[in-house]
Amino acid sequence: MALLMWVPLSIPHFHSPSFITSHKHKPLLLRSTIITTLPKASLNINNQNHSNDVALLWFKHDLRLDDHPALVSSAASQYHTILPLYIFDHRIISRFSDETLELVLLALKDLKTCLQDRGSNLMIRYGDAESIISKIVSEVVVSCHKLGLKQIKSIDVFAEEEVEYNLRQMIGSVDECLANLSLSRGSSTQLVSWQTPFYDIENLKKFPAFYSDFKKLNLTPTSPLATPVLPHLDITLDWGTIPTYDELRKYSTSVNSYESNEMWQSVKRISAKSVLSKGRVNQIKMPNDFSEGSSKSRSVNLENSVFLSREGTVVGGGTSAVLNALAAYLRDLEGTSRGDWQEVHEKLRKAESRSGASFGALFRSALSLGILSRRRVYYEAIKYEKERNAGFLSPFGYSAATVAAAVDTVCIMEWYHLLASKSHTNSGRTNSDHIWRWNEYLIRYTALGQEGPAVLLVHGFGAFLEHYRDNMTPVADGGNRVWAITLLGFGKSEKPNVVYTELMWAEMLRDFIIDVVGEPVHLVGNSIGGYFAAIVAGLWPSLARSIVLINTAGSVIPGNPSVLGNE
């Protein structure tokens, strides 16, 4: 490859203009508003009577009523009114693939229907969460008579805790806006942060750093919660409508901040294998997402099917549909005449690229969007295992491979979620870790420097971002903005049960440059990281200003590259 070169370890100052200057990493500061974590859903907020209060439930990645601690707690606390809300904020939806956007719409339709069946509703809004939530809070206070109240004492905004850096920044910004909001009639507002604890863990700072040590704790997962009875909403409000797929794609494009953004997002939708097959990115016809009815060709929801499409393996729909698919998945060893269950069994075998990999392929998207909680999956899997074994659990393992796959996947997902949460307790460090979600996996990275050219450091095999711990500060002090990333499957980044290839890691670096850095970078790769960096620069040259290879590796298996797979 013509791009290959070798340079010493010392890294020069890169004299190139900054492409975009707004992607600076500022520390997350939660202001004066009280942030209350709900370790248990039965907790009564501040042990107060909330009969004159309003709860605003901000749904993000918790698109369900089942096992929803904030919903249960607000109902138990006897809030006069509970207002469910979903906001199409570009910082949330821009992270989603086209397939995930479809799944979001299906989940929202189901969520809205389920709320309406319980005498409630789901408010739909578009825009920045800060302005939308502030506006709703102010309007509710002014028009409290519509709720049958002379005065609203407090409006509590419930929001699930996030581990992703950008989303934590967004929540911090919402919190700051609420703290500075001037309300009439003596009302107040606060942000209430909550989570769905898989285990009862009191102090994350003492949480083990290694999975083997964590397993020795033998923690028992907590039980899921039933959907509560909600207060009836007999008021006239502008609830908004759920968009079609095409409407959502058009909206997503219209709120892009930079002209180049949509072009880069189009690059993301083209696989590396397609680029290799066609030769150049500009020779590939970009998908036209905005033609009338384009989503019809993407999602073919056959009658009684639980999948987004005929060809795909992603389970789609609301909570009841996903629970039905989970029941079918767990019962793979049992014969069935049900067409929808037979389809699940067929897709299971198609997705079993490695032992147990099928569960993640089918259900990970639904779990990431919170259509099902991880502990609901664990509960259903263990319940089925006990049914198969007269109420007992064998100490020698599970009797069905599907049960093992489901349990192992959600437990590992919870482990990495806890690791990510623990990293926020160390946010005072100079090189603090950040979390980026890629293809629904949690990825570690760190960033230093406030101005100058962008530099991306890629570690070698068997290493992680700390590989550059002694290099990042000098590079940043030299007038650069520097990022270091821990690749999928390494270090404290998630290690899913998937097939790993050079192209997968290259696509991950491509997406990181587009989503996190936001401009072309000087790519620095060590060992096999140099190989991945060279692939990125070769396939997507617009993303790389230059490439620096340190002790670089080449093809993983010379003469038999996996980049082309079986094609």
DSSP string, 222-277: PPP-PPPPPPP--S------PPPHHHHHHHHHHT-SSHHHHHHHHHHTS-HHHHHH
Kindly indicate the confidence band of residue 561, based on its pLDDT and cuts at 50, 70 and 90: low
190 vs 428, which has greater pLDDT?
190
DSSP class of residue 209 equals S
Does 495 have pLDDT greater than 80?
A: yes
Does 257 have pLDDT greater than 90?
A: no
Kindly indicate the confidence band of residue 46, based on its pLDDT and cuts at 50, 70 and 90: very low
The verdict on residue 405 lying in a domain is no
66 vs 3, which has greater pLDDT?
66
Highest mean pLDDT out of 137-151, 251-265, 397-411: 397-411
Domain range enclosing 453: 430-550
The verdict on residue 150 lying in a domain is yes
**484: enclosing H helix or E strand:** strand 481-485
Domain count, the chain: 2
Residue 139's pLDDT is 87
Q: Which of 198, 214, 242 is the last residue of a domain?
A: 242
The verdict on residue 326 lying in a domain is no
Contact between 522 and 516 (Cβ < 8 Å): no
- Please compute the mean of the pLDDT values over residues 154-159 and round it to a whole number: 94
Residue 562's pLDDT is 56
The verdict on residue 316 lying in a domain is no
The verdict on residue 179 lying in a domain is yes
Dig out the tokens for 448 from the structure: 């230093």
The verdict on residue 474 lying in a domain is yes
Q: What mean pLDDT is reported for the chain? A: 84
Contact between 286 and 535 (Cβ < 8 Å): no
Contact between 196 and 44 (Cβ < 8 Å): no
The verdict on residue 20 lying in a domain is no
- Angle formed at CA 267 by CA 264 and CA 271, multiple of 5 degrees: 155
User: Could you give the C-alpha distances from 251 to 85, 101, 245, 269, 290, in angstroms and in order?
Assistant: 18, 12, 10, 18, 10
Residue 5's pLDDT is 40
> What tens digit of pLDDT does each residue of 350-403 get?
999 999 999 999 999 999 999 999 999 999 999 999 999 988 888 888 999 999
Kindly indicate the confidence band of residue 557, based on its pLDDT and cuts at 50, 70 and 90: low
The verdict on residue 234 lying in a domain is yes
19 vs 103, which has greater pLDDT?
103
- Please compute the mean of the pLDDT values over residues 253-275 and round it to a whole number: 72
Does 92 have pLDDT greater than 80?
A: yes
Domain of 440: which CATH number? Answer: 3.40.50.1820
Domain of 125: which CATH number? Answer: 3.40.50.620
